[in-house]
């Protein structure tokens, strides 16, 4: 909830009732973070989403990608108890395939790309990917 002096988290507790907690002091900052997102359109391509998954977003598909989670390796040299990724010894996805994935789903300067998988820093070609 945005109020005069900041942003509040409002909750209801069965035992204690309603309460609110200040979580951000500068209302002006948080309001500046809101973007003017375009409305999504109606999907007209009967082949979607299979077409878009295979070939990148089609011209009739009015949604845009806001974040791409790109799994670049399944290798990992850590042993985190809380990790949900499977450690595998599968070969890494090729740099060429990564470039194709990026060109299909990423708008330079607009789309957030998160490298994931096992541990992306194990790739020798990480600078080329970035």
Query: Residue 51: pLDDT above 60?
Result: yes
Q: Quote the pLDDT of residue 72.
A: 93
Q: Find the helix or strand (DSSP H, E) in which 69 lies.
A: strand 67-73
Q: The tokens of 121 are what? A: 């820093």
Which sequence spans correspond to the domains of the chain? 1-36, 65-129
pLDDT tens by residue, 91-110 = 999 999 999 988 888 888 88
Are 62 and 41 within 8 A, CB to CB?
yes
Phi and psi at 99, nearest 5°, equal: -60, -40
pLDDT tens by residue, 1-24 = 778 778 888 888 788 888 888 888
């Amino acid at each position: 909830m945005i109020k005069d002096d900041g942003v509040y988290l409002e909750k209801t507790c069965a035992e204690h009732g309603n309460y609110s907690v200040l979580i951000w002091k500068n209302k002006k900052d948080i309001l500046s973070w809101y973007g003017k997102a375009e409305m999504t359109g109606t999907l007209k391509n009967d082949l979607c989403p299979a077409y878009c998954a295979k070939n990148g977003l089609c011209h009739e598909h009015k949604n845009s990608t806001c974040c791409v989670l790109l799994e670049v390796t399944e290798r990992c040299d850590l042993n985190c108890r809380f990790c949900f990724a499977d450690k595998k010894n599968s070969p890494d996805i090729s740099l060429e395939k990564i470039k194709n994935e990026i060109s299909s789903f990423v708008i330079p300067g607009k789309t957030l790309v998160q490298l994931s998988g096992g541990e992306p820093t194990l790739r020798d070609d990480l600078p080329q990917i970035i």
